Amino acid sequence: MGQAYITNLRVGPATFRIASDWQKPIAQLNSLYENYPKPDSEFADFTVRLESQSVWRKYFRPTVHISGDFWLPDAAPLPLSQGLLAAEMAMNLQMALGWRRHLLLHASTVEKDGKALLMTGLSGSGKSTLSAMLGEKGWRFMGDEFALICPQTGLAYSFPRLISLKNEAITTMERIMPEDRFGPLLEDTPKGRIRHLVPSLESLEASNVPAKPAMLIFPRFGYDKAVREIGKSEIFVRLTQASTNYVALGEAGFRALTSFVDNVPARAIDYQSGDEAEILIDQLWAELA
Amino acid sequence: MSQQFKAANPEEIVLHMLDMMSLVFHRPSGLTHIVADPIPAILEVMQQEVSTPAQIAEALENNFDLEEGVDVENVVLARLDEMNALGLVERISE
């Protein structure tokens, strides 16, 4: 059964075909992805479908069901007003479950002088906000969700999807960014308030340019300022937990991750504000990268 | 009656040292094991010979500085049982 509204998007190396029963989420995607490089062909890596439960529910209290090449059986439907979020979640899910060309690390990434800084941590650690902030302060934003590590070269590739700002981070970024870089404010989502931010044009235009991983940070927001060294075995374990496809890649994943752990200096940092984190990161970058 | 063990074929495992821990990637299962001493040392001294825990304990004592007063053979046997469960060594029936 075909959907009425379709768009094809490209984020970094991945292409998506998004099909929807409703026009609105597609229009929002087309607007927010306007400056992204276009897919080279109509054949997409992944298909995502935003579907109604029934023809009746397409109009009456409509809720969006996500489906596609890869999906989770217990994914709850979202109200149509959050259709954009449903599309973004579904695209992430395709990458997390289906991408095999790179080792996927759940990490945000920014680049400077051809070298990449990766930040990984639990939800709420601030990695997404930090990458968005640094992306406006002299770094190239490469992604706030997935770092793609090439198993052959060890280089990090960009996945600059829309930056998903949550709760307080929305206000922080609204203070420094022009209004036309933001998507609609989505209230009462499963993760609270969400507002998407379009990465800078420079970041989108360079989205095919890889960078050599030069530093890994485990940020933690809301604690007194601190920097800690971490042993390689702890880094390895944390990164296997942060990877969605380490097991699926088999020995290629093992070799890519051990090489990463051996070659990329890492620190854990605690911080109370974005400014404090930026100072810490600049100091560590000068020292280690 | 002494038990005998043989290490997995070296082509089946990839050993990678990190810090106090090491990684063993087991090709047949695709699993990564995180192991501590003395497991890497046991794999090193076993090579491809069929060995008893006593022979392995002796080789460890000859090649490494071990803590005094430890029943090395019993420690080795306990580790061999665990390694057998992971597929890193094979128990040879007599």
Using one digit for the tens of pLDDT, what is the confidence trace for A145-166?
999 999 999 999 999 999 999 9
Of A246, A226, A245, residue with least CA distance to A236: A246
Chain A neighbours among B 17-46 (CB < 8 Å)?
A: 18-21, 23, 25, 27, 30, 32, 34
For A6, A47, A99, the CA distances from A43, given in Å and listed in that order, are 13, 10, 15
For A129, A131, A234, A270, A273, the CA distances from A225, given in Å and listed in that order, are 17, 19, 21, 5, 9
Structural domains in chain B (count): 1
Percent share of chain A, pLDDT over 90: 83
Of A9, A12, A17, A13, residue with least CA distance to A39: A9
Band (pLDDT 50/70/90 cuts) for residue A3 is: confident
Instruction: Specify the CATH number for the domain of residue B10.
Output: 3.90.930.60
* Pair of tokens at residue A137: 């302060």
Q: What is the pLDDT of residue A58?
A: 67
B15 touching A, CB under 8 A? no
Q: What is the C-alpha to C-alpha distance for residues A94 and A90, in angstroms, rounded to an integer?
A: 6
Q: What is the C-alpha to C-alpha distance for residues B8 and B22, in angstroms, rounded to an integer?
A: 17
Q: What is the pLDDT of residue A55?
A: 67
Identify the helix (H) or strand (E) that includes residue A159.
Answer: none
Q: What is the pLDDT of residue A190?
A: 87
Question: Which pairing describes strands A146-149 and A63-68: parallel, antiparallel, or unpaired?
Answer: unpaired
Of residues A233, A237, A254, nearest to B25 (C-beta):
A254
Q: What is the pLDDT of residue A57?
A: 67
Residues of chain A contacting residue B18, judged by C-beta atoms under 8 Å apart: 231-233, 236, 258, 261
Q: What is the pLDDT of residue B1?
A: 52
Residue A19 has pLDDT above 90, yes or no: yes
Size of interface A-B (CB pairs under 8 A): 31
Question: Which pairing describes strands A266-271 and A5-11: parallel, antiparallel, or unpaired?
Answer: unpaired
pTM exceeds cut of 0.95: no
Q: What is the C-alpha to C-alpha distance for residues A25 and A66, in angstroms, rounded to an integer?
A: 12
Residues of chain A contacting residue B39, judged by C-beta atoms under 8 Å apart: none
Residue-wise pLDDT tens digits, B4-26: 999 999 899 999 999 999 999 99
List the domain boundaries for chain A: 5-98, 103-288
Residue-wise pLDDT tens digits, A175-224: 999 999 999 999 999 889 999 999 999 999 999 999 999 999 999 999 99
The shortest C-alpha distance from B84 to chain A (Å) reads: 21
Q: What is the pLDDT of residue A33?
A: 97
Residue-wise pLDDT tens digits, A65-99: 888 888 777 777 888 889 999 999 999 999 999 99
Q: What's the complex ipTM?
A: 0.90
- Do the Cβ atoms of A13 and A148 come closer than 8 Å? yes
**CA nearest B16 in A: which residue?**
A258
The shortest C-alpha distance from A251 to chain B (Å) reads: 7
**Could you tell me the residue range of the domain that residue B79 belongs to?**
4-92
Residues of chain A contacting residue B20, judged by C-beta atoms under 8 Å apart: 231, 233
Put simply, the answer to whether B19 touches A247 (Cβ < 8 Å) is no
Cβ within 8 Å of residue A96, ≥6 positions away: A70, A104, A146, A244, A245
Of A153, A171, A281, A136, residue with least CA distance to A218: A281
Put simply, the answer to whether B34 touches A251 (Cβ < 8 Å) is no
Put simply, the answer to whether B34 touches A231 (Cβ < 8 Å) is no
